[in-house]
Each structure stands twice: as C-alpha cells, then as structure tokens.
Structure 1
Amino acid sequence: MGFAVAIVMCALLIASTTESQHNEAILRARIVTLTAENQRNGVALHARLAACEGGPADLARSRAASALLTPEQRAQHLAANGPQGFDVCARMESADRAVLETLK
C-alpha cells in the first residue's frame, strides 16, 4: 500500500514539475515580448518629446540645453515655455496617459 502511494506521489511531482516548466517558458517568452514592446514605446515617446521641443528658431539652443536633462525635466521645460506644437504634444501625452490607465 505504501509503495503505491509513493508511486502516485512521484507521478504527481513529475506532472507538477512539467507544468511548472511549461508555465515558466510561457512567462519568459511574454517577458521578452513585453521588454521589446517597452523599448519600442520608449523610443517612440522620446521621438515625440524631441519633436515638441521647439521650432527652427530655437532648435539648436533647445537641443543643446535638453541634452543634459532627463525626459521628465524636458517635459517640465516644455510645459513652462510652451514651444510651437506643445498643445499637440500635450494632447498626445494626455491620450497616452489615458491608454496607460486603462491597461492598469
């Protein structure tokens, strides 16, 4: 009787281990996908921020000044100075925020 219970327990352990390995593989693949998607989104958002940083008149000055700032500081600078196209960028940022809130 004890031997049969040991065999059943061994079979359950093997099944549990196999299922865990399968779940781990699925989760690792999902992590890779999400990481790649996050990088693509980050590049796109940085490009949008760069596009909002000013018109041709102050382009060289703003690029040199913003090179030393974090994206958050650059966004705060845009909010304070209101360069050309800022309204469009603010609407895009608001839409992005709304989309991110729905994903949470």
Structure 2
Amino acid sequence: MSENQKEPQYKLRWNEDLRNKVMNSAKANNRSINQEIIVRLEESFQEDIEKYEDALKNAKLEFLLKELALRMGVFKITVSSTEDEYIQRQKEIEEMKRKELLVDDKKAP
C-alpha cells in the first residue's frame, strides 16, 4: 500500500449493466463511483437495522397488548388493521361490559 493510499482496495468483478447503473447514479448524485458504492452499502445496512428495530417494536407491542388483555380478563386478542374489525371488537367489549353490569345488578340486594 502506498503512502497516498490509506484505505485498503478491493477488486470488484461486476457486469457492465450494473457498472453503468452505478455510474449513472454516481453522476446524478455528483459522487465518484467509489463514493456511490459506499453510500449505497451503508444505506443498505441502515435499512436492515431499521427493519430489525421495527420488528422488535411490533413484537413488544403485541406482547404488551396480550398482557393487557390477560389482565383485563380477555383471554384472546386479535390485533386487526382494518377499521371494521376494530369497531366490531369495540362492540364485543361493550357487550361483555353490559353483560357484566347485568350480572352485578342481579347480585345486588
């Protein structure tokens, strides 16, 4: 390695089509081909980290929802993404509450 070259080099074998894509992208972003490759690689690792973090947040949220449902006496919870299903779940919960109130009223002296 020469004095001017501080970073290690890596010989890359790639097809002409991919090289042209990288060259065009580098020109569009005002970067060298080397800079373009480095930026794209770094972004791909960041995307992997973000996907992992999102999956972890979703898993924690699902766990907390299930724990909350168990503590409330609801033994099955379904997390839905549609508004109709959400509204139906709310109606079911209200019906359960209403039935519990009726049972409590019957127990009252």
Q: How does the TM-score come out when normalised to structure 1?
A: 0.44
Higher relative contact order (CA 8 A, sep 6+): 1
Larger Rg: 1 or 2? 2
Structure showing the higher helix proportion among its residues: 1
Q: How does the TM-score come out when normalised to structure 2?
A: 0.43
